[in-house]
Amino acid sequence: MNTGLGEQALREVFGPSGSLSHALAGFESRPEQLELAESVASAIGERVPLLAEAGTGTGKTLAYLVPALASGGRVVVATATRALQGQLVENDAPIAAGALGRELRVAILKGRENYVCRRLEAGFDGLGEQSLTLFADDDLAELESLRAWARTTVTGDRSELEFEPRPSAWSEIAVGSERCLGPRCAYASGCYAELAREQAAEAELIVTNHALLLADVVVRSESEESRVLPEHDVLIVDEAHRLEDAAATWLGGRFSLRGVRRLVRDIERTHAEVGRPAPRALLDQVERGAEELIGALAPHEGRHRLDDLTVERESDRGASVTELLEQLGGSLKGVNEELDSLARRAYATADDVLACLAQDEAGTVAWAEAGQLQWARVDVARALRESLWDEGPTPILVSATLDHELVAARLGLGRAASLRVPSPFDFDTQALIYLATDMPAPGSASYIERLVSEVRDLCEASRGRALVLTTSYRVLNELSERLTAVLSYPVRAQGQAPRERLLAQFREDVESVLVATQTFWEGVDVPGEALSLVVIEKLPFQVPDDPLVAARCERIRLEGGDPFSDYQVPTAVLALRQGFGRLIRSRADRGVVALLDGRLRTRPYAHRFLEALPPAPVVSSIADVEAFLSVSAPTG
């Protein structure tokens, strides 16, 4: 790997008349973008980890792609969202290559579950009428559409589909890591997932997601010779603020009814394909035992942490399920490759039961929820440090919102260089913050009525053009239903259509309102007039009794810290900044962020939230909002 571009060479790329200005129409030279590019180049050259916060509008993807590609090594970029992956592959990577005056081999690498399995799809032709009764009628109808597509696809990638398949139907023909026979499969030479990996092995830039990056960590921890990602020299983690939660899940595990039923279905199907009777009685025992165990541990809605007393009470039931799964595995071995693979899945499922019920393992937390048991690591710092950061590819972690101290500690990046680059946008003239007054406490009798009234008045002032962000599905559903009745503008709600389709409708139908929660707090990019108002219902604190959140807080308390001040507030601040970031997406944008949480006026910690937001004027009058939005948007 060479030393890449020096400072002068980077200025010749990112300067006002640099090569990027020729490769990208409408390019604007930004000092912030150049500063980030220089820091990335320096980190790669010195092989030092970098934590970089790059405010909205910095142009961070080009700022890290250009120096990374110029270094001459293979680069992996891992993101949290599909939208950013598509932007990187379709737009930013070709632009960066053009600015460097070179050709570039790019590959997007997804998990195996995104590809149709040729073996499973072909297996349907050999199933008789009796075997087809294993499938729900709705799944059978959709499977016919999926199989028709599978006969014509070139890539086998589900993203080609013009409809969103039912998860239960897609899972019947998807590869899936636990169902893959690998090189032993008769269809291995034409496997779509393997072809995608072969293309990635030849690429100079590989775009993937956090999940696959962490799957690589898990696989390599089991065998140094196994890899999900090819060897690479530079690792860029974009949307890095989401890596800790992804790591906690991927470095943990789960035992689910859905997984057990899929295992049972696959065993029945494989026996039907080879003309052997399935071990029906044992399969029934396994499925019934799993239902009883999970039902006993998850009797109520929501997540429930598994404590020692509960686990001890159900230990006999758990031992019975484990024994049945091991017995099932033993009954499948030694017949053929496919049944051997199913035997390994049965043994692995037994291990998952043990892991979920192992309360004495330090650093983990287990919980039960509808249909599954799950466990996760409370602290991922050591695992990530040993598997990703130490003596591996140079890590560059980037996000529009980062708490450097929090991220460095929780991701095990204590020796990282740090950079904070502000947004180039002029928030003082482009944005306004509306701070509601006298809002009742969330959950009080008058809260929803007042919330509906505030949001209605704000949306009327903005003539629709609003994204309303809630912190729960309950409020989302009630608010969207009531707004539909009182607003003269179309109201759409998360869940009515796939995410990208909702956003496309929101962009096209300019005078409309979109009510959403969770994933819509980030990754939403709607520049222009269609989004002139972002309403934030409540401060986005994590649910305090969520098992993983509670376990993290306990750990901080045991270490002598203050969980609320040291973890819950900083985490909520980052989430609020993400929500605020949906508003101003270009220099031509103009709009209002409305904060409707009364605690921003009454609680001692309120200043931490307000000081973390961009420096926009603050008002408390709907008339001021209406007056601000009536002014023409800036040009340029």
More confident residue, 309 or 623: 623
For residue 375, the cross-strand partners are 253, 366
pLDDT at 517: 94
Q: How many Å apart are CA 503 and CA 8, to the nearest integer?
A: 41
Residue 181 has pLDDT above 80, yes or no: no
pLDDT in tens, 21-61: 888 888 889 999 999 999 999 999 999 999 999 999 999 99
Do residues 53 and 420 make contact, with C-beta atoms less than 8 angstroms apart? yes
Per the DSSP assignment, residues forming a β-bridge with 77 are: 207, 236
Q: Residue 323 carries which side chain, given as an amino acid letter?
A: E
Question: If pLDDT is split at 50, 70 and 90, which confidence band does 636 have?
Answer: very low
User: What is the pLDDT at residue 359?
Assistant: 62
Taking residues 440-453, report their average pLDDT.
Answer: 92
For the chain, the domains span 7-105+203-245+380-421, 122-182, 253-377, 427-630
**Residue 634: pLDDT above 60?**
no
Please give the pLDDT value at position 262: 86
Instruction: Give the architecture-level CATH label for domain 7-105+203-245+380-421.
Output: 3-Layer(aba) Sandwich (3.40)
CB 517 within 8 A of CB 469: yes
Q: With contact defined as beta carbons under 8 Å apart, do 254 and 374 qualify? A: yes
Select from 517, 443, 454 the least CA-distant residue to 487. Answer: 454
427-630: CATH number: 3.40.50.300
Name which residue leads in pLDDT, 148 or 128: 148
Q: Is the pLDDT of residue 635 over 60?
A: no
CA 35 to chain centre: 28
Residue pair 377/364 in contact (Cβ under 8 Å)? The answer is: yes
CB 23 within 8 A of CB 62: no
The pLDDT confidence band at residue 128, using thresholds 50, 70 and 90, is very low
pTM recorded for the entire structure = 0.89
What's the whole-number mean pLDDT along residues 307-334? Answer: 91
Taking alpha carbons only, the member of 517, 330, 532, 503 closest to residue 431 is: 532
Percent of the chain at pLDDT > 70 equals: 94
Across 341-360, average pLDDT: 88
Mean pLDDT, rounded, for 444-455 = 94
* Interval 564-571 mean pLDDT: 96
257 vs 466: CA distance, rounded Å: 40
Same fold: 7-105+203-245+380-421 with 427-630: yes
124 pLDDT tier (thresholds 50, 70, 90): low
Q: Which of 110-124, 386-400, 474-488 comes out lowest in average pLDDT? A: 110-124
Angle at 45 (CA atoms; ends 39, 49), nearest 5 degrees: 60
SS3 298: coil
Q: Is the pLDDT of residue 113 over 60?
A: yes
Per-residue model confidence (pLDDT) at position 273: 78
CA distance 201 to 307: 45
Give me the pLDDT at residue 235, please.
97
